[in-house]
Amino acid sequence: MRAHVIGESGADEADWPELGDTSEAAWRTAVNALTATQRAVRDAVSKLPEARLHENIPGKSHSYGYELLGLLHHDIYHAGQISLLKKGL
C-alpha cells in the first residue's frame, strides 16, 4: 500500500506467509515490523495530495482513495478481532 501511495511499484506479499519461529523474540520482531509499516503508510498518506485520491493507482483499476478505504477497513476488522480475543470471546 505505501508503495502505491507514493508512486512506487510494490511487490505483492504472500497473504499467508509460512509460520516459522514462534518465540517471544520473533513476536517482538513482527510487532516492530508492523509498527514501522503502519508509520510508513501514515507518512506516505500525509504526503499524498488530496487531488490524487480520485486518480487510479497505476496498474490497478481503482483509486488511491479506494485503496485507503480498503486499508482502513482491513485494520478496523483486525482491531475488532483483537478486542474480542482480549475479552475472551
Domain parsing of the chain, residue ranges: 26-87
pLDDT tens digits, 37-89: 889 989 999 999 999 999 999 999 999 999 999 999 999 999 999 999 999 87
Q: Per residue in 24-48, pLDDT tens?
A: 999 999 899 989 988 998 999 999 9
Is the entire prediction scored with pTM above 0.85?
no
Question: Which residues, including other chains, have CB under 8 Å from residue 57's CB and lie 6 or more apart?
Answer: 4, 63, 64, 67
